[in-house]
Chains A and B, each alone.
Chain A
């Protein structure tokens, strides 16, 4: 894939307020780094993630989208993440079916105490996306033209 000069991946991380968002906080306060191009968007629960948000993120230039929520069983709204899990499984499979690489989408469960896991996950995801290169598949091509 032709790469623009100085291209760095843009990653959107949707994080549940109660766990992963706090996990990110913990990562920060424990001085664990995660890539600066991970843009965190706080959502009240993983099941708040409307599939449209994922598509929008891609449209506005994201190269990868990751959803982080409480571990199954630990959702603060009891079962939100169980629903989110099914939804995202089907959505990601559909995106893959349409030719949008399945490695660009991911779901991870990260609790508030797992700052280290948060940082490791983000670093790993950013590396994967960097290897995949720029996402051209679901972008608004009009805006991307130089």
Chain B
């Protein structure tokens, strides 16, 4: 990968590369823009969870082309952003990279591995160096990010050069938990969501990382909306922020799972977005945001024969 990046930089086809670099800890991976001078610090391994697509939006103003590496799931966000004209395809050279699922360091910690210094992969094994000695995780599948368990498959949806192999890491039905919540009583659901959403500290990380949340002017930055507060003043606002955010990305959310990954409070935000996806699939027919460039999403579209909103009363859950 680094070689290919170096080649394209040398040939002048691109002047920047968007990829991952080591963060403050040895096992952190942060998105970074490289030039020929520092491209050697580019890394790509099982820890590179972050979705790079959104960072392209900020690069569009600059001169010259940029090379970007896309994992299969990132390629959906890439298409969605292209559909929304947030990225200019003329200015980007995408290269698809293989992905076998990315490691969740939190899950390593949950296994009782403390004081992590570094994580290296050896086939399916993970070697973890810690302050207190070394640890081994036999199967990396045990500690994959939640979003990787709802993987959209190993195919990239952007047509471009591919480097490396991918593996489908999906486990079970990704709508399973949504269906479980739907089956609860309203009181249980209310309690569940109050429990989750009351943890929110309004850090806005979920909004900032989301490729669908790329508006230049966001409602949550407008003090007149009453939901721009850093700290939600009351439980209504906590709920409101999340309902509005989920609604704003409904139909455009590719289910990339970044929101839940970055939430410092571990709120399962993807369950809100996935509810919309499930409803859209069941009421308006299957739809995957970002599957192709130029799709018209279900909320900017309609059918004269659409069902009435009263379906919500009848089905409680969702069904046509």
Contact = CB atoms under 8 A, between A and B. Distances in A.
Contacts of B189: 97-99
Nearest to A139: B236
Interface of B: 181-182, 186-194, 219, 225-226, 233-236, 239-240, 243-244, 246-247, 250, 272, 275-276, 279-280, 283-284, 298-304, 306-313, 316, 318
A138 B190 CA distance: 10
Given A94-B272, A141-B236, A85 B306 contact: yes
Given A72-B304, A99-B187, A99-B190, A92 B239 contact: no
Nearest to A95: B243
Given A83-B302, A98-B193, A51 B244 contact: yes
Nearest to B226: A56
B304 A86 contact: no
Nearest to B191: A99
A91 B275 CA distance: 11
Interface in A85-114: 85-103, 105-107
A83 B240 CA distance: 22
A2 B235 CA distance: 20
Interface string A58-89: 11000000000000110000010011011111
B234 A142 contact: yes
A23 B247 CA distance: 30
A93 B304 contact: no
B236 A51 contact: no
A5 to B, nearest CB: 24
B299 A97 contact: no
A92 B304 contact: no
Contacts, number: 113
Interface of A: 51-52, 55-56, 58-59, 72-73, 79, 82-83, 85-103, 105-107, 137-142
Contacts of B233: 142
A79 to B, nearest CB: 7
Contacts of B247: 51, 90-91, 94
Given A83-B302, A141-B236, A89 B312 contact: yes
A141 B306 contact: no
A105 B233 CA distance: 25
A88 B299 CA distance: 10
A100 B244 contact: no
Most buried by A among B233, B250, B298, B309: B309
A106 B309 contact: yes
Contacts of A90: 247, 250, 276, 279-280, 299
Contacts of A140: 234, 236
Given A99-B190, A138-B236, A94 B298 contact: no
Given A96-B316, A99-B189, A52 B279 contact: no
